Structure 1
């Protein structure tokens, strides 16, 4: 028998022996369809993280942010003891089967141009975030057993596990596509109280895609029947009514199967006397704010007064109010007297008080201190024809003889008056009822206001008016329900505050605590009243902890500041360390989304914006 025959005979005998003992090796039933196996813990293993081994032929099927199911298999009985759910946090990294990655054989071969690729496998780390018990996902109590099979979740299972199935009555709106599975949509419930109305922060560096996220969200929320108000600092969103013409955005839309489109029902509000960033907008409205809506304590903060000056201002405010009462300017009727008793001056000002009246009080005080009050003459819209009572009130109060403080207040009041932001009549005032129409997008264009204190004043007053009107509607609805009627549904409202760091920086909150209290009050009361705030900024390092504490939903684009990331780790739950490390490297349009309706944070490829933005390249 020659050598070839001997080999053939040996092979046949081995095959017969194998068949007699059950045939070729068959993977156990419970392991079929798996893409990886759990392995024994290594030095440095951490709670909540499992290392898995991926066969060479499966490495292409497993990616970071892929969602998996681990059937924890008892090592002796081969029975499933528990089912765990996890996400691939890092890897898979290629590793040779029987050699170290830096083995001399591999190093020498590669260094001298030889091709030597031994059998290899992938090694990845899975963050275990849940255990499935009777169809319900609960926090994991134990770790999966070693050598347990790991299965990729299908689309429907992934959606169910992550909470991506949004009920129709909750008005689902699409945010983008799940980063690891490009065909799964990530949707946000626009009508669910526990999500958008627990407030949102959209953070990221310049060029990370915030504007795309904001404009798409504005259009989608309005499309779901919400009223949307946007405080536009740079005038970026004033062209939203037009479809995008950006070639990069058009290509991205086509790739997603989406079409360009302008936002319907947009209305542009801009301060009277200023220039709109989009003079071609078909629905523009000029407005001014009302001085009598302004709390005296917020006024003192906005004017940036010293402590003595603040005391003088509040004294002037009291004198103005008392003079108005004596002259029956307000309150003038029994109904108004009853209304006046309910006024909370921490939140609003005295009805019918004007900045001219305050200027008259301060001017009369200065004249009285300097001995020239006999020739005092009031101004139109001030205390003209009421000078005698004003001077009598000043005399009775025995004001401080500190002309320097009074003149400093006069200078600041005149500067504010010359800005032209205050209305003289009801017709000039902004009507927030126009903003609370379902599906309406109201863009408050503040791009032609250089003074930050004036922008903040406008934002603060419109916010307070929106809250007050929504409170009234809520009270009316509750009264209808109390009487047994079906209450009229509240309009859901989403308010976007662009460049939030300028409005609510740590320094500004320290200087303007009453202004922040108004924002915090909206945040606390907003959920029941369907009033949700969205803070947008490229400088999250300037946002204080007080603001971050108001937010429960996060959309994080590219962030390169390690200090900011470390702060966010304390307030954004459920994000693994590998994902935090990836934030500085996110591509434009990628975002880490932590939303209250999701079981865990997810990476999302945000949909391109279909509308035209002024400042996007």
Structure 2
């Protein structure tokens, strides 16, 4: 995690980020559609009602993402954010008073604008640009794995049988028949293929051809590097819910530049994270501020080609996770990227510029304009096409949860660095995060399904397995 100043401290006065968090409000920017400038703020008590940040490439979405992360961190709310281009890593470093940023601060009337860094933890599924993120295959389950492997319905059925068979083996006394990594899953699928005739009466038909397809899909996952994600030690989701010594929320940044080369893995990972939070956090109702805020860039990848069951899961989690004290903010190019059932749950909205060169794009702009509460002073549809970089149409929840009228808003300049850390800066910050290094740096490879099935393939292993079924207590828990 960063220190108070972060890398490359210039010795200039450090801004107090709490200046932008007052009376339970986080300053996003300033609107000027009325006679007097007005602050546009997210109410912390309503921040768990989720949000949507949209706009064309190059219109300022990433900076808005950074401003949101800074505001929540300053308010003592931990943040998880995916970093698609690497630019968001700059939040860990003190910014510099660049002329454009100083000019923006002056334009919106920020007399106390300055620079600082924010406490940051870096994560990476591939374990290179952050602490390794791992999950047990067993925890992810057959539904998400089926989507990840692009399985058909019959193939997904066989994968379900594999998980059920391993679960039944554990229930029968073989506690080490756990599926932790892809090697375990491959071993279980292979064993099922061999035992297809004996398993048919209890689990249904397991076609050898289907077993072969699943094995090939597992190979593809391994070639894409997904094998590094599956294993132990598994991520403890509570490690995302931390604050630093000054009470600022830790900004957890997921390195997603390489991950975007495998968009299905990225989308599956994000949905797994949401599901983990939903299942493991207790119900807390409405709080003064969220326990955690998720900022998901390139959110459309969650929904692209997603089967109905996955979409239903996203909708269910989006609808109910707010009662766990978690706010989810989806970041994508167009509001139409998000299904209506999910979009209906997103109360806080920030719309950057969209361009319309085709009838389809014009229709999308019209649809985007209709999602806002109208403002008599603004032609919303026209404004969406006229917004400059760093300007957005903003409608945020107020009072008892009603959306404010849409306002044309200048987003405040970030206090941290606009742009990425250097590789050396990132490396130093990762190494300094000693708690996470100690917990996650080294992988574990304990005995699980792969080793257990290998043992059963020997004559002695077969005898022990048969005896254990007849005399369950004979070999003890390690037998």
Q: What TM-score results when the alignment is normalised by the length of structure 2?
A: 0.71
Instruction: State yes or no: 1:601 paired with 2:402.
Output: no
**Where does residue 231 of structure 2 map in the other structure?**
424
Superposed displacement of residue 262, structure 1: 3.8
Q: 1:408 aligned to 180, 188, 213, which one?
A: 213
**What is the number of residues matched between the two proteins?**
381
Which whole-Å deviations, capped at 9, do the CAs of 1:161-186 have from their partners, x for residues lacking one? xxxxx9955x1111111223696342
Q: Of the candidates 337, 340, 361, which is equivalent to residue 188 of structure 2?
A: 361
What is the CA deviation profile of residues 121-172 of structure 1, one whole-angstrom value per residue up to 9, with x for unaligned ones? xxxxxxxxxxxxxxxxxxxxxxxxxxxxxxxxxxxxxxxxxxxxx9955x11
Displacement of 1:399: 5.3
Q: Secondary structure at the match of 2:144?
A: helix
Matched, 1:451 2:255: no
- After superposition, the C-alpha distances for 1:475-527 in whole angstroms (9 at most, x for unaligned) are xx69xxxxxxxx9988532110101112223xx33x3x333333322322233
SS in 1 for 2:90: coil
1:186 aligns with 2:186: no
Distance change in 2, residues 1:489/1:327 (3 Å): farther
Indicate conservation of the 8 Å contact 1:190/1:224, yes or no: no
Over aligned residues, Cα RMSD in angstroms?
Answer: 3.1
Q: Indicate conservation of the 8 Å contact 1:490/1:529, yes or no.
A: no
Partner Cα separation in structure 2 for residue 241 and residue 421 of structure 1: 26
What is residue 387 of structure 1 aligned with on the other side? none
Matched, 1:264 2:98: no
Q: For residue 100 of structure 2, what is the aligned residue in structure 1?
A: 248
Distance in 1 (alpha carbons) for counterparts of 2:179 and 2:257: 29
Counterpart of 1:239 (choices 90, 99, 102) is 90
Q: Distance in 1 between matches of 2:352 and 2:133?
A: 34
CA contact (8 A) 1:227 1:493 kept: yes
Between the aligned partners of 2:94 and 2:220, the Cα distance in structure 1 is 40
TM-aligned CA deviation for residue 366 of structure 1: 3.5
Q: For the Cα contact (< 8 Å) 1:558–1:585, is it kept in 2?
A: yes
User: How far is the alpha carbon of 1:553 from its aligned partner?
Assistant: 2.0
Q: Secondary structure at the match of 2:41?
A: strand
Whether the 8 Å CA contact 2:268–2:302 is kept in 1: the answer is no
| Rounded Cα–Cα distance in structure 1 between residues aligned with 2:389 and 2:35 | 16
> Do 2:28 and 2:68's aligned partners in 1 also have CA atoms closer than 8 Å?
yes
- Structure 1's 401 and 607: CA in aligned 2 closer, same or farther, altered over 3 A? closer
Residue 45 (structure 1) aligns with: none
For 1:177, which of 27, 30, 44 is the aligned residue?
30
Aligned to 1:137: none
TM, length-normalised to structure 1: 0.56
Q: Compared with structure 1, are the counterparts of its residues 411 and 327 closer, same or farther at alpha carbon in structure 2 (3 Å cutoff)?
A: farther
Aligned match of 1:299 in 109, 133, 145? 145
Task: Select the structure of larger CA radius of gyration.
Answer: 1
Q: Tell me, in whole angstroms, the C-alpha distance in 2 between the residues paired with 1:235 and 1:257.
A: 30
Per-residue displacement from partner, 1:221-271 (whole Å, max 9, x unpaired)?
Answer: 111111211122332212211133455335434654354424321111112
Structure 2 unpaired stretches of 5+: 1-19, 244-248, 356-360, 422-479
1:173, 1:220 within 8 Å by CA — same for their partners in 2? yes
Change (3 A) 1:398 1:464: closer
Query: After the TM superposition, which of the residue ranges 210-219 and 298-307 deviates more from structure 2?
Result: 298-307
Do the aligned residues in 2 keep the contact of 1:252 with 1:608 (CA within 8 Å)?
Answer: yes
Query: For the structure 1 residues 586 and 615, does the alpha-carbon distance in structure 2 shift closer, same or farther, using more than 3 Å as the test?
Result: farther
Q: After the TM superposition, which residues 310-329 of structure 1 pair with which residues of structure 2 at under 5 Å, given as runs?
A: 310-329=156-175
Contact 2:31–2:408 (Cα < 8 Å) also in 1: yes
SS at match of 2:373: coil
Within 2, Cα distance between the matches of 1:408 and 1:541? 34
Please report how far the alpha carbon of residue 588 of structure 1 lies from its aligned counterpart in structure 2 after TM superposition.
1.3
3-state DSSP class of the match of 2:313?
Answer: helix
More strand by share: 1
Match of 1:466 in 2: 277
Q: Which has the higher helix share?
A: 2
- Find 2:364's aligned residue among 560, 564, 572: 564
**Residues 198/259 of structure 1: CA separation in 2 closer, same or farther (3 Å cut):** same
**Partner Cα distance (1:608, 1:229) in 2:** 21
Kindly indicate whether the alpha-carbon contact (under 8 Å) linking 1:203 and 1:538 is maintained by their aligned counterparts in 2: yes
Q: Is the 8 A contact 1:366 1:406 kept in 2?
A: yes
Give structure 1 stretches of 5+ with no counterpart.
1-165, 277-283, 332-350, 370-391, 479-486
Contact 1:552 1:596 in 2 (8 A): yes
CA offset at residue 536 of structure 1?
0.8
Match of 2:291 in 1: 492
**Structure 1 443/190 Cα, relative in aligned 2: closer, same or farther at 3 Å?**
farther
